[in-house]
Amino acid sequence: MRVGLLWRAEWDPAGERLRDVFVAFAELAVAAEPVVFSDDAVDRVREQLLGLDAVLVWVNPVEQGLDRSLLDPLLQEVVDAGVFVSARPDVILRLGTKKVLWDTRELSWSGDVAIYRGVEELRAELPARLEEAPRVLKQYRGMGGDGVWKVEAAAGGKVVMQHATGDTTPELLTFDQLARRLAPYGLLIEQPYSPRLADGMIRAYLTHDKVVGFTHQYPRGLMPPGPDDRPSGKVWQPPDTQALQPLRNRLESEWVPQLQGLLALQRNDLPVIWDADFFFGEADDTYVLCEINCSSTFALPEFAMPTVARATLDAAEAGDLRE
């Protein structure tokens, strides 16, 4: 069995950050090999991938001015040749973009979600929605808060807009200025601003349709300006963490099966490693989906890596799982 771990050459030193993943495969008597991708090395990487049985991929959708426009067709090509890929490109487009919030809006993990397919729809519909409550706008595909904005109504028909990256200061804009700023992004997804953002979010890690771990994290983006004394970093929590059993149960017994039905995904179509981020709902033990990540799920709880490695080998041994 030949397994590769793929990352961008620009992500340095990725091999060290994925050390525990290599160890998990070694404990299963498989020597995983690095696959270092760059946009000018497609032919070299193709040759290496076609010699593998499986590959796990860590490449963000948009980062440092780079995207997956060359990688995704390559991965689809090797999928078609029989190589197992941790998250297939066609599955990522169904599961791992912000549009999944709109596609699953009828699930009980959702809030009042809207979609704008262009700036004219934004101009026509957003002002009335801002009168009800602050909203968050998200570009179709991104990461790290890039292309995510909090927008709320202000006096005189103006709006306050805050970008989720870094320590950005809220801006007071006219609606025309807002619309011009957002026009280049095309499709945008909108959902209510979480009133419990200060409480952080829960990230649930999954292998196929089973939860394999959690972390409670406190993103800084879209918080009010000023000092933030909330915890930093991640603290891993096992899947049997008692306080998170309501979330685990709803994911495994309700939300993931419903997600599969809506997106036409079989169990083995689901990635061997993906995660879903949840805000806390207004009532106890309720949660609201923020986003799903499956292009580059990192970092991973160490105790989940053996499950991910075992699932990868099982999937590769099973052959073409799309049948």
The span from the CA of 95 to the CA of 101, in Å, is 9
Q: Length of the chain in residues, anyone?
A: 323
Instruction: Report the pLDDT value the prediction gives residue 13, as an integer from 0 to 100.
Output: 61
Q: For the CA atoms of the chain, what is the radius of gyration?
A: 20
Instruction: Report the pLDDT value the prediction gives residue 312, as an integer from 0 to 100.
Output: 97
Q: Model confidence at 235, in pLDDT bands (50, 70, 90)?
A: confident
Query: Helices then strands (H, E): number in the chain?
Result: 11, 17
Is the domain of 137 the same as that of 282? Answer: no
> Closest by alpha carbon to 308, among 119, 30, 120, 36?
30
DSSP character string of 240-296: T-GGGHHHHHHIIIIIHHHHHHHHT--GGGS-SSEEEEEEE-SSTT-EEEEEEE-SS
- Cβ(130)–Cβ(122) under 8 Å? no
Task: Note the maximum CA span of the chain.
Answer: 67
Q: Model confidence at 323, in pLDDT bands (50, 70, 90)?
A: very low
Last residue in a domain, options 176, 192, 208: 192
- Cβ(163)–Cβ(180) under 8 Å? no
Q: Model confidence at 14, in pLDDT bands (50, 70, 90)?
A: low
- Cβ(193)–Cβ(147) under 8 Å? no
Is the domain of 103 the same as that of 224? Answer: yes
Is the domain of 287 the same as that of 209? Answer: yes
Instruction: Report the pLDDT value the prediction gives residue 151, as an integer from 0 to 100.
Output: 97
**pLDDT single digits (tens) 141-175:** 988 788 999 999 999 999 999 999 866 789 999 99
Mean pLDDT of the chain: 93
Instruction: Report the pLDDT value the prediction gives residue 234, as an integer from 0 to 100.
Output: 85
Is the domain of 105 the same as that of 119? Answer: no
The span from the CA of 63 to the CA of 61, in Å, is 7
- Give the residue numbers spanning the domain of 247: 95-109+196-300
Q: Is 74 helix (H, G, I), strand (E, B) or coil?
A: helix
Instruction: Report the pLDDT value the prediction gives residue 12, as an integer from 0 to 100.
Output: 65
Counting the structural domains of the chain, the total is: 3
